[in-house]
Amino acid sequence: MILFEADPQPERNLLPYDGSVYYYGQIFPQTLADHYYQQLLAQLAWEHDRAVIYGKTIHTKRKVAWYGDQPFQYTYSGVLKTAMPWTAPLEYIKQAVEAKSGATFNSCLCNLYHDGSEGMAWHSDAEKDLKKHGVIASVTFGARRKFGFKHKLNKQTVYLELAHGSLLTMQDQTQDYWMHRLPPTTKIKSPRINLTFRTIDRF
């Protein structure tokens, strides 16, 4: 297992091979990150996520919201979702992320984890409508959480902690060869908001 410290070195690829992951650390100052956290928590159209597993629809504890350049329908976890127009805070955050990463995005999946008991199992973001080998940018607001990657073939793992107001990007062959997860923990009692900016090719 490789465990990276919190100090950001965005020029260094955190994966040893078969993909590219960069951690920029806190790109938003503390006061601005606090401001965005409160706005997103109060203003986004949060709803419990749904996933189809073996033909059965499951409702999760975490909540999600979809936003994009225009209203569009997109299948995620086997469920058809409709994106809403960008809110002003999401638009400002997107512009900052695009400036840092050098990529552009046309949609965002917003996730609300109420506390450490809520997480995500190992998975890859490999939906058919995502831009092939494009950049997926993950922004964290709120609770600091551990985040992991696991190689699909040799099971090697890489872990780091995502700070309040921080940016992480995944690109190139990462989704082909690596899975990622947000492990649950009993130590975290406060919410985390995660914004994952993406590019849908179908637009």
Residue 78 half-sphere exposure, CB side, CA atoms within 13 Å? 10
For 28: left if phi > 0, alpha if psi spans -120 to 50, otherwise beta; the answer is beta
pLDDT tens for residues 142-176?
999 999 999 999 999 999 999 999 999 999 999 99
Which two structure tokens, joined as six digits, stand for 102?
């050098």
Q: For the whole model, what pTM was predicted?
A: 0.90
For residue 40, the 8-state DSSP code is: H
Query: Which pLDDT belongs to residue 61?
Result: 84
The number of beta carbons lying within 10 Å of the beta carbon of residue 152 is 14
Alpha carbon separation from 34 to 13, 23, 142, 143, 169 (Å, rounded): 28, 20, 8, 11, 21
Q: What is the CATH T-level fold of the domain 2-9+18-132+144-160+170-192, as seen in this structure? A: Jelly Rolls (2.60.120)
pLDDT tens for residues 82-114?
889 999 999 999 999 999 999 999 999 999 999
Structural domain boundaries of the chain?
2-9+18-132+144-160+170-192
> Where do runs of H (alpha helix) occur along 19-64?
30-43
What are the DSSP calls for 65-89, one per residue?
A: EEEESS--EEEETTEEEE-EEPPHH
pLDDT score of 76 more than 70: no
Helix (H) or strand (E) segment spanning residue 63: strand 56-68
